[in-house]
Amino acid sequence: MTEFDAVYYDGRTSARKPVRVRGYTLVIQIVGEGLRLDVPLGQVRVDPPVGGTRRALHLPDGAQLQTDDHAAMETLFPRAHALEGWVHGLERRWPYALAALAVTAVFAWWSVVDGLPLAAKIVAGFVPVAWEAKLGEQTLGFFEGRLCRPSALGAARQQTLQQRFARLTAGLADGYSYRLLPRDCRGVGANAFALPGGTVVMTDALVKLAQSGDQISAVLAHEVGHVRHRHGLRMALQAAGLAALAAALFGDATSITSLATTLPVALLQSGYTRELETEADDYAFHRLREIGLSPKAFAEIMLLLEKDHKKRSGGDSKDYFSTHPATAKRIERALAAP
């Protein structure tokens, strides 16, 4: 027999009644002022334990017993809640908690370094190219007219550009409908970007900066690499994954504190960008060789871009959280490309 003190609630009002409970093999007996109740043990449902919180015993007709006598609960209901009882055991001891910490840390590390990029790559593989093209259109619509206007370059020059692009994308047969849009985007300087689905935008400033047509081809090849490897889509998926991960790990505290997670997330994202840039570079080197051009052209245009960037920003271009891998390294890789 197990005996313990409890508070009895009849389920109709909030009135509390201190009682003494005797637990037998098949029945519990509740005795208090003006109360004597026998309840078959089979009709009693006990809540699983959580930390040191009070235990509740649910009786028929919504009545309830509450008690702080955890030992008595263990004896009376030794096999209730196999799973949560086991979890409770883990939560009670520091060694298990530290093991849980190790599991969490390893998982978080792996997710950030390999898991999320891999998952994004796999998920991106399931997105139809047609969807991607639509997404690209949306993005284009966002800055067309706002940031960029149609190119101010001469018709002949534009045609040469299109020919270069056509040569790069000829016979790729990857389902993307490639298209080059020369644009005059004053605010962004010498630049080029790839949109999901195959549209590549190149600014007039970049065309003017380049000293040879091959250099332009090199940049375009890099952008084609972004398209083929679905970088736009993958970046978005990775960003979503990171946000979800951060929210799951640290979203527990007050909302202001969770602001603390946005900074690391931003930093990690720039790390992802660098990886994707390297991937696009590799594709560019490979493709340039394929159509009979040298990756050296890539090294040349990178050098020009860096100089241009330095001139425009007036200072050293080596910002700490640069989204592109350090230019020197990219140039080195271009020169060393097979």
List of residues contacting another protein (CB under 8 A): 7, 9, 11-16, 47, 50-54, 56, 62-64, 66, 84, 87, 90-94, 96-97, 99-101, 103-104, 107, 134-135, 138-139, 141-142, 196, 236, 239-240, 248-250, 252-257, 259-261, 263-264, 313-315
Considering the complex, what minimum distance in angstroms separates the CB of residue 250 from another protein?
A: 4
Q: Which is nearer to another protein, 87 or 181 (CB)?
A: 87
Considering the complex, what minimum distance in angstroms separates the CB of residue 278 from another protein?
A: 23
Closest C-alpha among 142, 140, 221, 151 to residue 182: 151
Q: Which is nearer to another protein, 90 or 328 (CB)?
A: 90
Considering the complex, what minimum distance in angstroms separates the CB of residue 83 from another protein?
A: 8
Considering the complex, what minimum distance in angstroms separates the CB of residue 282 from another protein?
A: 26
Q: Which is nearer to another protein, 91 or 282 (CB)?
A: 91
Q: Which is nearer to another protein, 105 or 170 (CB)?
A: 105
Q: Which is nearer to another protein, 68 or 214 (CB)?
A: 68
Which two structure tokens, joined as six digits, stand for 327?
A: 């230019």
Q: Which is nearer to another protein, 104 or 270 (CB)?
A: 104
Q: Which is nearer to another protein, 10 or 184 (CB)?
A: 10
Q: Which is nearer to another protein, 128 or 315 (CB)?
A: 315
Considering the complex, what minimum distance in angstroms separates the CB of residue 114 from another protein?
A: 15
Closest C-alpha among 144, 304, 137 to residue 218: 304
CA dihedral 23, 27, 32, 37 (to 10 degrees): 180
CA dihedral 191, 194, 241, 321 (to 10 degrees): -20
Q: CA 222 to CA 202: how far, in whole Å?
A: 12
Q: CA 259 to CA 250: how far, in whole Å?
A: 10
Closest C-alpha among 173, 287, 163, 271 to residue 219: 287
Considering the complex, what minimum distance in angstroms separates the CB of residue 197 from another protein?
A: 11
Considering the complex, what minimum distance in angstroms separates the CB of residue 153 from another protein?
A: 28
Considering the complex, what minimum distance in angstroms separates the CB of residue 50 from another protein?
A: 5
- 307 phi/psi in degrees, rounded to 5: -60, -45
Q: Which is nearer to another protein, 69 or 214 (CB)?
A: 69
Q: 316 near 265, Cβ under 8 Å? A: no
Considering the complex, what minimum distance in angstroms separates the CB of residue 184 from another protein?
A: 22
Which two structure tokens, joined as six digits, stand for 259?
A: 């602001």
String of DSSP letters for 233-255: HHHHHHHHHHHHHHHHHHTTS-H
Q: CA 269 to CA 304: how far, in whole Å?
A: 27
Q: CA 284 to CA 46: how far, in whole Å?
A: 65
Measured at the alpha carbon of residue 296, what is the angle toward residues 295 and 300, in degrees to the nearest 5?
A: 125
List, in sequence order, the alpha helices (H) in 66-154: 70-76, 82-92, 94-110, 116-126, 129-143
Strand duo 149-150 + 199-203: pairing: unpaired
Which two structure tokens, joined as six digits, stand for 219?
A: 């940049």
